[in-house]
Chain A
Amino acid sequence: MRKMMLMGSAAVLAACSGDVETKEVTAAEAPPITQAAQRSADMPAPNPTRNVYFGDTHIHTKNSFDAYIFNVRVDLDDVYKYAMGEPLTHPGGYQIQLDGPPLDFVASTDHGAYLGILPLMDDPSSPLSKTEVAQGIFGSDPEVIVAGFQRIGFSVRTGEPYAEIYDRDVIDDTWGRVISTADKYYQPGKLTTFAAYEYTAVTNDTERGDNFGGGNLHRNVFFKDSAPKRLFSVLDSNNPEDLWEWMDQQRSAGHDSISVPHNSNVSNGRMFAMDMYDGSAMSPADAERRIRNEPIVEMTQIKGTSETHPTLSPNDEFADFEIYESLLGVFDISEVSGGYVREALANGFGIQAELGVNPFKFGMIGASDVHTAGAGFTEENYWGKVGIVDATAEARGAVPPGGAKTWDGVERDPNAEMWFSRWGASGLAAVWAEENTRESIFDSMRRKETYATSGTRIRLRVFGGTEFSDDMVSAADMVERAYATGVPMGGELSGAGTPQLLIHAAQDPNAAPLQRVQVVKVWYDGGAQERIWDVACSDGLTPVDGRCPDNGASVDLDTCEYSSDKGAGELRALWTDPTHEPGKNAAYYVRVLENPTCRWTTWQANKAGVERHPDRPATVQDRAYSSPIWYDAE
């Protein structure tokens, strides 16, 4: 009797979770799923000189393994509702709401690996809840929660699925729901949505135990206007080069997409490595495949800035901005070189010199990577990223633990210390597009007429040319003439003539005024080279030795009020490269800095009436980064 019972149980287990079918759905036979939405009658006509649209292209819901486990219960609909301004409930029990106008475009990007699996593992009526992996991973004890996260994360990192919970039907069904929900909320002219997911590759070269720990090689995959029925996750292959191969196949089957890498800052130097995933040499075809699939990079988000690192850019006094260095899921510090976009933009020329192709000719966007369906993009209104484990000011390390008023002698929580307090209230993607539609916004991402901000809605136009005249910078029809005689950000100059940049920046009406506009030039000389010029200063100042003098803007750290009489509403400049060498490739991008304001940690300490974290900056200078303009001598 006993023996029979045991056999019986085993049979049920096998019947419920075995037989994981690997269906081969080729792209050719899968019909496009996303639908073209109707153009509404009152939609404004396309603007040939383009409008700027702001969006968040990196958002998770309960369908992501690392969100559900942190008590996130918001679903796909909530991403769009939040983007339109509706309030949501945070796992911490409080209401969250977008601080600012509705977003113009948005994408939910849940992890493709185990997409939609965790909610079923926690549902007693699903067979997935009976699996061994599901036992004891859903608790209320933070240690249990983090252990569960590391356990699933281990499988994601290694790309080795837990067979009993790797149910492709569930993943495919959830992906189908991702696509249909994006379609449901797509309102051309008002809100653009994309079918998208995150490809969660992690460097798998070091042994840090059976956990998620490693270098981040994550990318978000966005489909333009039609998507295949099946997604490609790390459980198919954890080598990003295989993802690009798959994207190429999908593209030839009519499903155009782009892949957007993020958090190169914690990739352990591998995101912009100059060799292949397995350490072999890059071929011209490899370089072409990369830039074909990855035209833009998410270079600022909650988990830090990937522009540059103070050790890579010792002469950039603004480089030390929201730097975050812990590898995924562990406290180990990431290798710096190979992890930042400024260095990569320069190294791209080094590869181009050898292969004839520049694999790092990418543009910039920002996004949040929030795991609670909606992000706090402003310093005053920020609730972290993951869910229950960083739900309070204390958990985030903005307030000393245990009700203490000061940080003297308190024992600091390591997660808050190493992770959460170092995260920033960032970022947004900005695109210049003719109209707010999938086609128009996707095309702008492909041509890199995009820029990144650290969360505020700074407006930034950059044009490159060789024949701009001085009067253009103050001409009423500056933009028309710039499009006619130059290229917008993301574009390319070549041939004779000295590269010029025509720049126009304006502040976010709901944030601090602008302090300065800077040009960053990069090139390759046996190694990455860089130089920075301030090209426009607020308050009537002019640059001295390439830097704007101090404009005297200040912040009262107790009230967070900032000086109202300093800074500029808008700044313009026409800049000609004083160091141009004909025949020498270079790239130029623009960085715009606001006046200083309180960092989120300061806001939250003030609110609680406690001492600020002594080791975090009290203020930040929010900023925008343009996509580069390349000068290609050939």
Chain B
Amino acid sequence: MKLLRDPLIHFLTLGGLLFIGHALWSTHVTRADRELVVDTREITRQSELFAVENGRPPDDAELQGIVLAYVEEEVLAREAVKLGLDTDDTIIRRRLAQKMRLLGDASAELSPGDDELRAWFEERSERYAVDERRGVEHVFFSDEGRDDAKADAAAADLSNWKSVGDPFIIARNIAPQSRAKLQQDYGGAFARAAFEAEPGVWSAPVRSPFGIHRLRVTEVVPRQEPSFEAARARVLADWQAEARDRAKAESLRRMVEQYDVVITE
């Protein structure tokens, strides 16, 4: 506002003159719908926009241009409405809806009280937990080139396991992974065996989509459940995202509620 002070005075003078001119010019039409009041707040908004775009406030000529463009747009818009061009136009309908959604977005950032946030976290602490992970090493027996990979696996002496079995496309030593991740990469049976096995003991033969494995759990990283304090920053961001979505959905729901929605064929 400060930087607009001078031009604004110019504007008010100019605007006044314009308004008088307009009034004189159209004395014969005095109907209320022919009255075009230029709201200074709108012009201030446009001027601020100009300042953001250009890094400086508009000069007199530019300010005059803003006023005139506004008047022109308003007149054209009213004429268009009179002709009924605003109804039944997809673009206008979509833009109006878009504008309303943006209004919803702009609602103030909410911040919860500490207790409220803590309670919210406790209801959802599952979301912040990291599941148990297990490290596994395994020996692979391919179906290709073996008559019975399962029998070979069962009979194998694993005391020198690194040199036993066939090469495996992924690692023979798998860093700690969640059960879900193991299932994605090696299939459900492999993951089940890894999470049911006693650490340090070679399993019975297990089938994966690749072939037969014998596996041994090398490391168990227990499930981690972070405290509220440790997870606080993430919890707050999630709470705010949820609050925003909820506020938007709620305001839309309230608006929709005011209508009787009838679906016709």
Interface string of B160-194 (1 = CB under 8 A from A): 00111111011110011000010011110000000
Closest CB of chain B to A1's CB: distance in Å?
A: 7
Tell whether A16 pairs with B53 under 8 Å between CB atoms, given A477-B162, A509-B209: yes
Interface-located stretch among B54-62, B196-204, B255-263 = B54-62
| Interface residue B68 (Cβ < 8 Å from any Cβ of A) | yes
- From A12, A460, A461, name the one whose CB has the most chain B CB atoms within 10 angstroms: A12
CA A510 to CA B91, docked complex, whole Å: 44
Q: Which residues of B contact A25 (CB under 8 A)?
A: none
Closest CB of chain B to A171's CB: distance in Å?
A: 15
Interface-located stretch among B109-117, B120-128, B140-148, B244-252 = B140-148
Closest CB of chain A to B124's CB: distance in Å?
A: 16
CA A418 to CA B121, docked complex, whole Å: 53
- The answer to whether B68 touches A15, judged by C-beta atoms less than 8 angstroms apart, is no
Q: Which residues of B contact A461 (CB under 8 A)?
A: 169
A475 in complex: contacting residue of B54, B143, B167, B184, CB < 8 Å: B167
CA A505 to CA B170, docked complex, whole Å: 10
| Interface residue A496 (Cβ < 8 Å from any Cβ of B) | no
Tell whether A47 pairs with B166 under 8 Å between CB atoms, given A8-B65, A569-B143: no
Tell whether A509 pairs with B164 under 8 Å between CB atoms, given A4-B68, A15-B65, A569-B210: no
Residue of A nearest to B208 (CB): A509
- The answer to whether A9 touches B167, judged by C-beta atoms less than 8 angstroms apart, is no
- The answer to whether B62 touches A15, judged by C-beta atoms less than 8 angstroms apart, is yes
Closest CB of chain B to A239's CB: distance in Å?
A: 32
- The answer to whether A5 touches B167, judged by C-beta atoms less than 8 angstroms apart, is no
Q: Which residues of B contact A9 (CB under 8 A)?
A: 65, 68-69, 72
A1 in complex: contacting residue of B21, B62, B69, B130, CB < 8 Å: B21
| Interface residue A479 (Cβ < 8 Å from any Cβ of B) | yes
- The answer to whether A5 touches B68, judged by C-beta atoms less than 8 angstroms apart, is yes
Name the interface residues of A1-50: CB closer than 8 Å to any CB of B. 1, 4-5, 7-12, 15-16, 19, 42, 44-45, 47, 49
- From B69, B130, B165, name the one whose CB has the most chain A CB atoms within 10 angstroms: B69
Tell whether A11 pairs with B65 under 8 Å between CB atoms, given A101-B181, A124-B95, A507-B210: yes
CA A139 to CA B93, docked complex, whole Å: 11
Q: Which residues of A contact B67 (CB under 8 A)?
A: 8
Q: Which residues of A contact B99 (CB under 8 A)?
A: 124
Closest CB of chain A to B127's CB: distance in Å?
A: 13
Closest CB of chain B to A234's CB: distance in Å?
A: 25
- The answer to whether A505 touches B169, judged by C-beta atoms less than 8 angstroms apart, is yes
- The answer to whether B54 touches A478, judged by C-beta atoms less than 8 angstroms apart, is no
- The answer to whether A476 touches B172, judged by C-beta atoms less than 8 angstroms apart, is yes
| Interface residue B7 (Cβ < 8 Å from any Cβ of A) | no
| Interface residue B23 (Cβ < 8 Å from any Cβ of A) | no
- From A8, A138, A571, name the one whose CB has the most chain B CB atoms within 10 angstroms: A8
- The answer to whether B90 touches A570, judged by C-beta atoms less than 8 angstroms apart, is no
Tell whether A504 pairs with B185 under 8 Å between CB atoms, given A476-B162, A476-B164: no
- The answer to whether A570 touches B66, judged by C-beta atoms less than 8 angstroms apart, is no
Tell whether A476 pairs with B139 under 8 Å between CB atoms, given A44-B176, A504-B169: yes
- The answer to whether B175 touches A45, judged by C-beta atoms less than 8 angstroms apart, is yes
CA A11 to CA B145, docked complex, whole Å: 81
Tell whether A139 pairs with B62 under 8 Å between CB atoms, given A124-B95, A507-B209: no
| Interface residue A474 (Cβ < 8 Å from any Cβ of B) | yes
Residue of A nearest to B145 (CB): A474
Q: Which residues of B contact A460 (CB under 8 A)?
A: 169
Closest CB of chain A to B155's CB: distance in Å?
A: 16
Q: Which residues of A contact B61 (CB under 8 A)?
A: 11
Q: Which residues of A contact B98 (CB under 8 A)?
A: 123
CA A51 to CA B94, docked complex, whole Å: 48
Closest CB of chain B to A616's CB: distance in Å?
A: 29
Name the interface residues of A437-485: CB closer than 8 Å to any CB of B. 459-461, 473-479
| Interface residue B15 (Cβ < 8 Å from any Cβ of A) | no
Closest CB of chain A to B140's CB: distance in Å?
A: 8
- The answer to whether B185 touches A509, judged by C-beta atoms less than 8 angstroms apart, is yes
- The answer to whether A476 touches B144, judged by C-beta atoms less than 8 angstroms apart, is no
Residue of B nearest to A18 (CB): B54
Tell whether A459 pairs with B170 under 8 Å between CB atoms, given A568-B143, A569-B143, A570-B142: yes
CA A571 to CA B142, docked complex, whole Å: 9
CA A474 to CA B176, docked complex, whole Å: 27
B90 in complex: contacting residue of A140, A459, A506, CB < 8 Å: A140
Taking residues whose C-beta sits less than 8 angstroms from the other chain, chain A's interface range is: 35 or more
Tell whether A12 pairs with B66 under 8 Å between CB atoms, given A476-B167, A509-B187: yes
Q: Which residues of B contact A7 (CB under 8 A)?
A: 65
Q: Which residues of A contact B165 (CB under 8 A)?
A: 476
CA A77 to CA B250, docked complex, whole Å: 24
| Interface residue A572 (Cβ < 8 Å from any Cβ of B) | yes
CA A142 to CA B248, docked complex, whole Å: 30
- The answer to whether A571 touches B167, judged by C-beta atoms less than 8 angstroms apart, is no
A49 in complex: contacting residue of B54, B90, B171, CB < 8 Å: B171
Specify the main secondary structure of chain A where it touches its partner.
Answer: mixed
Closest CB of chain A to B87's CB: distance in Å?
A: 16
A139 in complex: contacting residue of B68, B91, B163, B166, CB < 8 Å: B91
| Interface residue A365 (Cβ < 8 Å from any Cβ of B) | no
Residue of A nearest to B146 (CB): A474
Residue of B nearest to A15 (CB): B62
Interface string of B193-235 (1 = CB under 8 A from A): 0000000000000001111000000000100000000000000
CA A479 to CA B172, docked complex, whole Å: 10
| Interface residue A617 (Cβ < 8 Å from any Cβ of B) | no
- The answer to whether A570 touches B65, judged by C-beta atoms less than 8 angstroms apart, is no
- The answer to whether A5 touches B25, judged by C-beta atoms less than 8 angstroms apart, is no
Closest CB of chain B to A138's CB: distance in Å?
A: 7
| Interface residue A52 (Cβ < 8 Å from any Cβ of B) | yes
A47 in complex: contacting residue of B72, B91, B171, CB < 8 Å: B171
Tell whether A101 pairs with B184 under 8 Å between CB atoms, given A12-B66, A568-B144: yes
| Interface residue B64 (Cβ < 8 Å from any Cβ of A) | yes
Tell whether A127 pairs with B53 under 8 Å between CB atoms, given A1-B25, A570-B142: yes
| Interface residue A100 (Cβ < 8 Å from any Cβ of B) | yes
- The answer to whether B167 touches A504, judged by C-beta atoms less than 8 angstroms apart, is yes
Closest CB of chain B to A83's CB: distance in Å?
A: 14
Q: Which residues of A contact B91 (CB under 8 A)?
A: 138-140
- The answer to whether B167 touches A479, judged by C-beta atoms less than 8 angstroms apart, is yes
Closest CB of chain B to A25's CB: distance in Å?
A: 17
| Interface residue B81 (Cβ < 8 Å from any Cβ of A) | no
| Interface residue B239 (Cβ < 8 Å from any Cβ of A) | no
CA A342 to CA B145, docked complex, whole Å: 32
Q: Which residues of B contact A127 (CB under 8 A)?
A: 49, 53
Residue of B nearest to A458 (CB): B169
B210 in complex: contacting residue of A10, A45, A124, A570, CB < 8 Å: A570
CA A505 to CA B61, docked complex, whole Å: 72
CA A42 to CA B54, docked complex, whole Å: 49
| Interface residue B71 (Cβ < 8 Å from any Cβ of A) | yes
Q: Which residues of A contact B69 (CB under 8 A)?
A: 8-9, 12
CA A138 to CA B93, docked complex, whole Å: 13
Closest CB of chain B to A156's CB: distance in Å?
A: 24
Closest CB of chain B to A111's CB: distance in Å?
A: 23
Residue of A nearest to B94 (CB): A140
Residue of A nearest to B54 (CB): A15
CA A471 to CA B53, docked complex, whole Å: 71
For the complex of A and B, the 9 pairs showing the least CB-CB separation, nearest first, are A44-B175, A8-B68, A478-B167, A11-B65, A101-B184, A8-B65, A506-B169, A509-B209, A459-B169
- List 12 A–B pairs whose Cβ atoms lie within 8 Å, in order of A's numbering: A8-B64, A8-B65, A8-B68, A8-B72, A15-B54, A16-B50, A16-B53, A44-B176, A101-B184, A476-B166, A570-B142, A571-B144
Residues of B within 8 A of A (CB): 21, 25, 49-50, 53-54, 58, 61-62, 64-69, 71-72, 90-91, 94-95, 98-99, 130, 133, 139, 142-145, 162-167, 169-172, 175-176, 181, 184-187, 208-211, 221
Query: Knowing that A4-B68, A474-B145, A513-B209 are A-B contacts, what are 17 other residue pairs whose CB atoms are under 8 Å apart, sorted by A's residue number?
Result: A5-B71, A7-B65, A9-B69, A49-B171, A101-B184, A140-B94, A459-B170, A461-B169, A479-B167, A506-B170, A509-B184, A509-B187, A540-B144, A569-B142, A569-B208, A569-B210, A570-B211
